[in-house]
Amino acid sequence: MAAIEESGGGGKDDGKVRGKKVSTRVDMTPMVDLGFLLITFFMLATTMSKPTSMTLAVPDKNDDKEQAQSEPLRASKVLTLFMGGDDEVYYLDGIAADDDAAAEKLGTTKYGYDLRTVIFTSQKRINSQNPKDEKGNDAFVVVIKPTPASTYKNMVDVLDEMAITKSKRYALVDNLTDSEKKVLGDKISTPEK
C-alpha cells in the first residue's frame, strides 16, 4: 500500500473548487503501542503451565478390622523405602528390619534414576520368585516410610516413582518400628539447625 498523496486537487488550476480529499489513513502507532502494552501485561500476569495433580488415597483409619484380617506381609515380597534427609533414600530389599543381616543389606540411593533402578530390580526379582495372588495382583509390595527428616518433595517423588514403575501395591506408613530405627541409626535424625 503506497502512501496516498495528500495534495489532492491542488495542482490543477482549472478554476473548479473541489472538496479537498482528506486522507482516510489513520495513524495506528498509538494503537499498536497500546496493544503491545496490554499483551505484555497479560503475558506477565498469566500462569501458562497449569499445575497437574496426583491423586492420593489413604486407607480409612477406622476400618482396622479389615486390616487385621488380611494376612501380614511377608518380608521377602516387600521393598521398604526409608526417606531420609538430604534427599537420600535407604532401602531394604526383601528383608525384614529385624533380620540380623538387615544392617548390612541396607542400601542407599538417590531419587530419580537410581531409585527407579532399585525398584525395577526388586520388582523383577520378587515377581519372578513369587506367583501372582488369586486376584491376579503382582506379589511385589513397596512400603514407603517417610522419616521426619524427609520433605514433601521426597514423598511426591516416591509416589511418582510408584506410577513410573507401575508398582500398584504400595503403602505409606509413617511410623518406624524399633528394629527399623535400630537399623537406620542416626541416618534419619533430623538435623537440628
Partner 1 sequence: MGKVRPKKHAPFTDMTAMTDVAFLLLTFFIMTATFKSNDAEINTPTSISQIKVPDDKIMVISIDKDGKVYFGVDAQPVRVAMLDNIAQTKGITFTDLERNKFALQTSFGIPLNQLKPWLNMSKDQMNEVKQPGIPVDSTGTSELADWVYAARKADPMLRIALKGDNLAKFPVFKDVLANLQSQNINKFNLITGSEAAPAGFASEETTEE
Q: Which residues bind partner 1 (CB under 8 A)?
A: 1, 3, 27-29, 31-32, 35-36, 38-39, 42-43, 45-62, 83, 113, 116, 146-157, 159-160, 163-164, 166, 174
Look up residue 22 and give its DSSP letter.
P
Closest to partner 1 by CB, 98 vs 117, is 117
117 or 129: CB nearest partner 1: 117
- Between the CA of residue 143 and those of 21, 126, 176, what are the distances in Å? 85, 14, 11
Sign, Cα dihedral of 89, 94, 100, 101: negative
Query: In whole angstroms, how close is the CB of 174 to partner 1 at the nearest point?
Result: 6
Give me the least distance between CB of 103 and partner 1, in Å please: 24
**Whose Cβ is closer to partner 1: residue 11's or residue 15's?**
11
Three cell numbers at 68? 487385621
Minimum CB distance to partner 1, residue 43 (Å) = 6
Q: Is 144 helix (H, G, I), strand (E, B) or coil?
A: strand
Comparing CB distances to partner 1, the nearer of 122 and 154 is 154
Q: How far is the CB of 79 from partner 1 (least distance, A)?
A: 19
CB neighbour list of residue 57: distance below 8 Å, 6 or more residues apart? none
- Residue among 39 and 103 whose Cβ is closer to partner 1: 39
- Find the shortest distance in angstroms from Cβ 146 to partner 1: 4
What residues have CB less than 8 Å from 134, skipping those under 6 apart?
none
Give 70-94 as a 3 state SS string.
CCCCCHHHEEEEEECCCCEEEEEEC
